[in-house]
Amino acid sequence: MTLKKGLLPLIIGSVMMVAAPAYAAVTMKLSHNHNRNHPVQKAMEQMASRAKELSDGNLVIRIYPDAQLGDQRESLELVQNGALAMAKSNAAELEAFAKNYGAFNMPYLFTDREHYYRAMLSESGKSILQSSRPNGFIGLTYYDAGSRSFYAKKAINSPDDLKGLKVRVQPSPSAVEMIKLLGGNPTPLAYGELYTALQQGVVDAAENNLTALTLNRHGEVTKFYSVDEHTSIPDVLVISAKVWDGLSEKDQKALQQAADESMMFMKDLWAKSDAEEKVKAEKMGVQFIYPKKASFQQAVQPMYDGLQKSNPEVYQLVDSMKKL
């Protein structure tokens, strides 16, 4: 891994656990790649405030937005070895670190938003958060990241409209397979490079939630948002296993409670944000298309058939969440 110039001074001292006296504060750095206006930043601020309160001032969390400490993958690698305490990633990227996160990446898994929340809060959802411990980190909670749909310079009404298009995807095996089955050419690309890539035609389309159009200004260069809602992939707040194991039991409970509360705080934030961002996108000239989903669902069915044969453990998680 090659860190961006200037990152090392920010990362050094990411976790300061002073052994004596016993009441000394634990200071932790938290990295994420969204800007300061994003709902996830507000949810994290609420979490940090509650963690400090619940721990009687012992837990101090400093939040670094805008990928100041590296992009998502760089941050995760730092969290793995304990050089960085906490980071926000998402289930798509985490699949490369712990396969069980891939359950959330299956397309058209959830019928609606409440189904999505039942899955995150279920025993299956909780087990997924713990599945990455052997890889150096655990998940504390999920954050709503809405549903993901396609956006491009033309309307996407059926899989036929994706044929031949270079579609930016996250570095997730499931995302790559989904785009291939839908007829597109999956193109993994760092999120920070996507605006320019769309503008210059390096990629023809992308898939994400509404904030990509507005907060990241992708609606300036792509004017059609096709609401197929193929996936609802949560963001995940992760913590280094080394850091977690170094906390007292009291501080672990305080941090977990603060994280759980921030998840529900984020639920309300996201619902409000989604409505506001749709209005903003329309003012930018973005047209919203509502394709029928049946042809998309049929095209990706081989993913479920293949998963059942190749990875029964993840398929069982998928099946259990689908039935909730």
pLDDT in tens, 124-138: 999 999 999 999 999
| In a domain? residue 189 | no
| In a domain? residue 61 | yes
Residue range of the domain that includes 241: 7-92+235-270
| In a domain? residue 218 | no
In this predicted structure, what is the pLDDT of residue 21? 43
Sign, CA torsion 150/156/160/164: negative
| In a domain? residue 145 | no
Q: Which tokens belong to 299?
A: 């095209």
- Give the distance between the most distant pair of CA atoms in the chain: 65
CATH at 13: 3.40.190.170
Type of residue numbered 19 = A
| In a domain? residue 68 | yes
Say whether pLDDT at 20 is over 50. no
- The secondary structure of 165-199 as a DSSP string is -EEEE-S-HHHHHHHHHTT-EEEE--GGGHHHHHH
Kindly report which listed range (16-30, 88-102, 151-165, 170-184) carries the lowest average pLDDT score. 16-30
Give the Cα separation of 210 and 52 in Å (integer).
32
What is residue 146's three-state secondary structure? Answer: coil
| In a domain? residue 29 | yes
| In a domain? residue 251 | yes
Say whether pLDDT at 46 is over 90. yes
Counting the structural domains of the chain, the total is 1
pTM confidence score: 0.86
Strands 224-231 vs 148-152: parallel, antiparallel or unpaired: antiparallel
| In a domain? residue 34 | yes
In this predicted structure, what is the pLDDT of residue 8? 52
Q: Inter-axis angle of helices 39-54 and 249-283, to 10 degrees?
A: 160
